[in-house]
Amino acid sequence: MLIVCKLYAIVSEMCFVLFCLIEPTFKPKTKVHKISHPFHNSLEINCENIEQDIVWNGGEGKFKAEITYNGKPITAGPQNKCLFTFSDLYYLATYDVKVFESHLMSLSIYNHNAVVGFLVFLIVVTSVALLFVLFKIYLLKRKRSVTAEDEEIPLTPEPLRRVEPIYADGLVEAYKTKIADESRLFMDEFQSIPRIFSNYTIKEAKKQENQSKNRYVDILPCKYHSSIPTVSCGYQEPKKYIAAQGPKDETVCDFWQMVWEQKSSIIVMVTRCEEGNKIKCAQYWPSVDRETEIFDDFVVKIRSEQHCPDYIIRHLILNNKREKASEREVTHIQFISWPDHGVPGDPSLLLKLRRRVNSFKNFFSGPIVIHCSAGVGRTGTYIGIDAMIESLEAEGRVDIYGYVAKLRRQRCLMVQVEAQYILIHTALIEHTMFGETEVSLSEFHSVLNTLRQKDGSDPSLLEMEFQKLPKFKKWRTINTGSSEDNKKKNRCSDVIPYDYNRVLFRLDLEGNQTSDPEDEEDYSSDEEEESNEYINASFISGYWCQKSLIAAQGPLPNTTGEFLLMLYQQQTKTLVMLTDCQEDGNYWGDEKKTFGDMEIEVKKTESFPTYVRRRLEIKSTKKTDVLEVDQYQFLKWRGQELPENAQELIEMIRVIRENGNYDNSRMNRNIPMVVHCNNGSSRTGIFCALWNLLDSAYTEKLVDVFQVVKNLRKERQGIVETTVSSLEKCNHLVLSLKY
């Protein structure tokens, strides 16, 4: 006779099901089995209501119990009483339980109950001692990560909020609403998405042989994606991306095997190998010097490497030794402008990265492999931006909240912090408001002609593009330059440097105060405002690095000493003057001139048809160091919006680049070049824009006049004036480029 009963027990406050099978050799009158849990991860099985006058069929019988987990039995008994205790069981595991009778051959003895009682007493005492030891071991193990078996039970996520999709024309207003009150709505929205959001196990990732392959113990791929790190859905393509952690030294071979098996032809790396003195990723490609690296069955060769300010493009050749005549091209794009902490300040950098990645994609490409260090934060952010732009273009709306939740269902912690969640929004706003304005040099002439065309009274595309340019009025403070003490030091009241990037110098500074182009913090503070002198000059970002240019007004008689001190403390090597002496003043002479503690002397003069080159020697009476500066004065730009001949200005720029070794020396790029006209804005702004556009054209064969002008406007007032002809000027100068 078989009795099958379905019983419920609770272990450590979690419910699970036990199936009990009773195989008696007597007629039981057992109504139920009692299952209890005397302590954590234990079971006590008791057959209740068994009559005392049981008649066994055959010899004397005893009860025996057996529990099974994953095919592995654990037995207890035989014993007279149907009472069994099992301890040190797996947490949240399902066990099959069998209770049955076992025959024993024994001699008849007198008062066998006393012997049995004594044995039971010994068993109980021993069991209590053993259970106490096991309980102590359990407490120690609780401090460790959950075991692989723990993950067998699917997680039940909290219900998501109802967040409505945002239409393209409502992105800005939605952003303003959520960013208000210290980003409270953004924070609430982001934190409501479960960090771990998966119905699949991570058993494979937590196996002993795989634990050394995981960079972080809390970021693991789920079982559904155990063969590869994680496959993430694009907006329309179900397997567009592979989100991976940065390879470790011991996983580089596995990484290339994955790339080979998945037929991936593009790898996007959103980290440096080392950041903040911490290893973020192993270098899994050969250097240009070595050319070839071998990783077990895979041979990786580097064909070319192109360095740009924000990313490096490498063209690799991948061979598999096991497959004859096998060779594949892999494009490796490494984004290097993600700061150690936080997110990029300019979302257009990620939009530019996306354009580069998409330019290499073709119909036959496998999934795009994207990784940072952990493979969740920056990786998830890039995937989110790419997919949501596709959604905008297809439907005119985005569900950022829903998509991030979708990503986390496939890989935990995707889009790891709130700042990355906000960055997705700002990148979409940038894309919606300004679109793609980057043009290749080979197509620039035809594109510009299209932009200029007008249809009746309707504005041209160039005029419409100009209307999109932000004015950035009052977006930063100008408290220092507009103070009563400093008003007399400004040529124009409407061109005053912003406090955040004005050039600082100190009259009592013992050593030279050189700029640090990697320093991204604001340059002014309350303490600095009191200890630093004021000059009408602003740091300007160059193509290669921040603070590589200084836009300054022409020195006034009462500011010439400060102007020379600024050159001296910034260790300037090149000085560009875009005005003649009549309108801007002469701050040098045929002989040595002194302005306060500063001395300037012309050591050499060379005259050319369109410019004059002077070698200036600048000293401080308080120091023995001498600074030599090459000054280039352009002679063909007198009051006009553009030079008389744009090609002549470009030719002078070529000479400056060559003589200053700006194309090949990173050190020279980091020393700021000072550019001035009368107000340090109008002609200076055009020159700075052209300088950056030339760098872009030389390096990438691409130009983006719109973005260059937009970024310059953020750094100094009055740069590229607020008329459509200003944008026309820059485009006209680009047309003059010759290679």
* Domain residue ranges of the chain, discontinuous segments joined by +: 3-141, 168-276+285-434, 487-735
Give me 340's structure tokens. Answer: 């150690």
Give me 204's structure tokens. Answer: 């494979």
Helices and strands, counts by H and E, the chain: 17, 30
CATH class of 168-276+285-434: alpha beta
What does the alpha-carbon distance between residue 192 and residue 186 come to, in Å, rounded to a whole number?
A: 10
What does the alpha-carbon distance between residue 656 and residue 675 come to, in Å, rounded to a whole number?
A: 12
Amino acid at 339: P
- Nearest to residue 547, comparing CAs of 573, 571, 518, 568? 518
3 has pLDDT over 50: no
Which of 77-86, 145-154, 278-287, 559-568 is predicted least confidently?
145-154
Tell me the fold of 487-735.
Answer: Protein-Tyrosine Phosphatase; Chain A (3.90.190)
Q: What is the pLDDT of residues 500-541, one digit of tens each?
A: 999 998 876 554 444 444 444 444 444 444 447 899 999 999
**pLDDT value for 200:** 52
**pLDDT value for 102:** 56
The per-residue b/e assignment along 613-623, b for 16 or more CB within 10 angstroms, e otherwise, is bbebbbbbeee
Phi, psi of 293 (to 5 degrees): -130, 145
- Which uninterrupted H or E stretch holds 557? none
Q: CA 692, 693, 695, 699 torsion: positive or negative? A: positive
In this prediction the pTM is 0.73
Which residues are designated catalytic? Answer: 372, 677
3-state secondary structure of 456: coil
Give me 231's structure tokens. Answer: 């496959």
Q: What is the pLDDT of residues 142-169, one digit of tens each?
A: 544 433 333 443 444 567 888 999 999 9
Output the CA–CA distances (angstroms, integers) from residue 296 to 51, 58, 259, 276, 593, in the order listed: 70, 67, 14, 31, 70
What does the alpha-carbon distance between residue 724 and residue 419 come to, in Å, rounded to a whole number?
A: 35
Do the Cβ atoms of 422 and 381 come closer than 8 Å? no
Asked if domains 168-276+285-434 and 487-735 share a fold, the reply is: yes
What does the alpha-carbon distance between residue 266 and residue 328 come to, in Å, rounded to a whole number?
A: 11
Amino acid at 388: M
**pLDDT value for 731:** 76
Span 574-588, average pLDDT: 86
**Which parts of 113-195 are beta strand (E)?**
166-167
Q: What is the pLDDT of residues 201-258, one digit of tens each?
A: 455 545 555 544 555 544 555 544 444 445 556 667 778 999 999 999 999 999 999 9
Query: What ranges in 415-546 are assigned the alpha helix state H?
Result: 418-434, 441-452, 461-468, 526-531
The per-residue b/e assignment along 404-414, b for 16 or more CB within 10 angstroms, e otherwise, is bbbbbbbbbbb
